[in-house]
Amino acid sequence: MARRTDQPDNEDLARWLSWVALGDRRAFEQLYRATSTYLMAIAWRVLQHRDLAEEVLQDAFVKVWHSAGLYDARLGLPMTWLINIVRNRAIDLRRSRANSLINPHGDGGGDAALESLATPGAGPEQWLDAAIHQTGVQECMGQLTAAQRQALALVYYQGLTHVEAAQALEAPLGTTKAWVRRGLDYLKACLQGRGVVAS
Amino acid sequence: MNYLRPERLDALARAHALGTLSPRAARRFARVVASSADAARAVAEWQGLLSTLEEGAPGSPAPRARVWDAVQQRLFEREAPARAAAGASRGASSGAGWLRWPLALVAGASLLWATLAWRPQTFGMEPLSGAAPASYVGVLQDPQGRPLLATSARRHGLVLTVRLLRPVAPAPGQALTIWAWSDTDSTPHRIGDWTAAGSTTEVALPTQAETLLGRMTHLGLSLETAAAVPSAPTRPFIAEGPCAKVW
């Protein structure tokens, strides 16, 4: 499966965002062209539906146009800011349509290209493995239990609530919450200890 | 409940960034984040950590062209009437006499602050250091080669100070708009505009000058329609000049 290597340069993103805050439509288009495919994948992983992922992307960029001036470089990278806008919108949409939308196996919105991404063996847990591998800190992953990895991957990549993750894992709610909490706390300490994220 | 106790704040920030708070709790905590720098930092820290989980994750096909078309349609299709209404609203509010004195006070204080910061010798004061602060500086000349505008923005500042060296009188409804471009990309980007005819004006920047001007080598000045927010100059530059780093 193709992995993404297309994350744009954060310095360019910061500059485009500041121009967008000044109403610069060309910078807005540059920002869209540079990030939309990357951000689309985030929405798709939560929704597993092409049309809805595109709807999220549309909503997210409308929000970016209106709130680019709120991006604060002191708090984080521009891509992190964009990822959160898209992911939050995707989670909101997923939960508002929880009963009618999600096919846990991913129907890909009827799109063959997306169906290929939802094949067995290429689920959230494998995405988490790949992310940790990509950051070069596999030892962080090795310390997580299988249950922690599964719970964390379901909640992060697919936007599941704790209740939904507990049902998917057929585990008690409190246990599932603890897996997610301890998994994240461990990852934070491990990634900070290796300088991958700021401490 | 004190949301800012370190352990509680970290747990809430983690859940907020992950998206596992209930909608009601998320709304309540969002208000805390909006009003507390500590809370904003805690959430940003978790968001930064979670964003590393995107690395190496699978991609998806590019969004179809209709997505960008729809974004443009939603944002810009009805723009003209909205701008006209905004202009009318500004016209109506300009008659609010009760605002004039406070605004004059703020403007006067701003001018005093800018003068103290930029030219302390005006008030018989000397700069704290003999060295000028690290700044982006421009001197723009008209087509006849006469200096028309001087600009200065501290490297990490959020204000561009512009000083007209000769009078320029925008027609009613026009704004002086400043643009920047680089040697490698000649596309001008709008940096800011102002309508005041006074000689010195501070133009607010949406982010640090370093981000906006760091790669820019040229500045240009044009007269644009005040109610519009053009992405490209619609009229010829009335002055151009280099944008230099002074540090």
Cβ B206–A69 below 8 Å, yes or no? yes
Q: A123-193 adopts what CATH topology?
A: Arc Repressor Mutant, subunit A (1.10.10)
- Chain A touched by B82 (CB under 8 Å): no
Span B34-66, pLDDT tens digits = 899 999 999 999 999 998 888 877 778 899 999
Alpha carbon distance B214, B155 (integer Å): 9
pLDDT single digits (tens) B177-220: 999 998 888 889 999 888 876 788 999 988 889 888 988 999 99
Strand ranges of the sheet holding B135-141, from the earlier edge strand across to the other edge:
B189-194, B174-181, B218-225, B239-246, B135-141, B147-154, B159-164, B200-204
Closest approach of A104 to chain B, Cα-based (Å):
17
- Say whether A22 and B66 touch across the interface (CB within 8 A): no
Q: Supply the Cα-derived Rg of chain A in whole angstroms.
A: 17
State whether residue A179 sits within 8 Å of chain B by CB. Answer: no
Place of tokens 């591998």: A133
A83:B205 CB<8 A: no
Please check whether residue B29 is in contact with residue B3, taking contact to mean a CB–CB distance below 8 angstroms.
yes
Query: What does the domain layout of chain B look like in residue ranges?
Result: 6-54, 121-246
User: Which tokens go with A32?
Assistant: 């869209």
Name the residue facing A114 among B60, B67, B191 (closest C-beta).
B60
Asked if the C-beta of A131 comes within 8 angstroms of chain B's C-beta atoms, the answer is yes
Closest residue by Cα to residue B178 from B189, B168, B187, B186: B189
Domain residue limits, chain A: 10-117, 123-193
Average pLDDT over every residue of A76-104: 84
Q: CA torsion angle for A26, A27, A29, A32 (degrees, to 10)?
A: 180
Pick from A30-44, A110-124, B67-81: least confident:
A110-124
- The size of the A-B interface in CB pairs under 8 A is 187
SS3 B142: coil
Alpha-carbon distance B245 to B217, whole Å? 9
In degrees, rounded to 5, the angle at the alpha carbon of residue B110 between the alpha carbons of residues B178 and B237 is 10
pLDDT averaged over every residue in chain B = 80
Does the pLDDT of residue B124 top 80, yes or no?
no
User: Residue B194 and residue A178: Cα distance in Å, rounded?
Assistant: 55
Nearest CA to A163 out of A98, A118, A106, A103 is that of A98
What is the predicted pLDDT for the residue at B128?
A: 54
CATH 2.30.29.30 fits A10-117, yes or no: no
**Which value does ipTM take for this structure?**
0.83
**At residue A118, does pLDDT exceed 60?**
no
pLDDT at residue number B117 = 55
Q: Please compute Rg for chain B using Cα positions.
A: 23
Does residue A112 have a pLDDT over 50?
no
Q: In terms of Cα–Cα distance, which of A199, A40, A63, A163 is closest to B64?
A: A40
Note which residues in 1-20 of chain B have CB less than 8 A from chain A: 11, 14, 17-20
| Helices then strands, each counted (H, E), chain B | 7, 8
Q: What is the pTM of this model?
A: 0.69
Neighbouring CB atoms inside 10 A of A142's CB total 9
Nearest to A42 among B54, B67, B68 (CB): B54
Q: Is A181 helix (H, G, I), strand (E, B) or coil?
A: helix
Q: Mean pLDDT throughout A61-79?
A: 92
Q: DSSP states of B105-132 as a string? A: HHHHHHHHHHHHHH-GGGGT---SSSSP
pLDDT attached to residue A117:
42
Whether residue B97 is predicted with pLDDT greater than 60 in this model: the reply is no
Residue in chain B closest to A192 (alpha carbons) equals B49
Tell me which residue has tokens 């500045």.
B219
Q: Please state which of the ranges A123-132, A157-166, B20-29, B124-133 shows the lowest mean pLDDT.
A: B124-133
B52/A contact by beta carbon, under 8 A: yes
Residue in B14, B58, B74 closest to A3 by CB = B58
Residue of B202, B107, B20 lying closest to A95 (CA atoms): B20
Section B78-87 average pLDDT = 49
Are B63 and A113 an interchain contact pair (Cβ–Cβ within 8 Å)?
Answer: no
**Closest CA relative to residue B176, chosen from B185, B154, B167, A68:** B167
The yes-or-no verdict on residue B81 having pLDDT over 60 is: no
Tokens of A163: 């209740």
Region B121-246: CATH code: 2.60.40
The answer to whether the beta carbons of residues B166 and B159 sit under 8 Å apart is: no
SS3 B75: helix
| A10 reaches B (C-beta below 8 A) | no
The rounded distance, in Å, linking the Cα atoms of A139 and A190 is 9
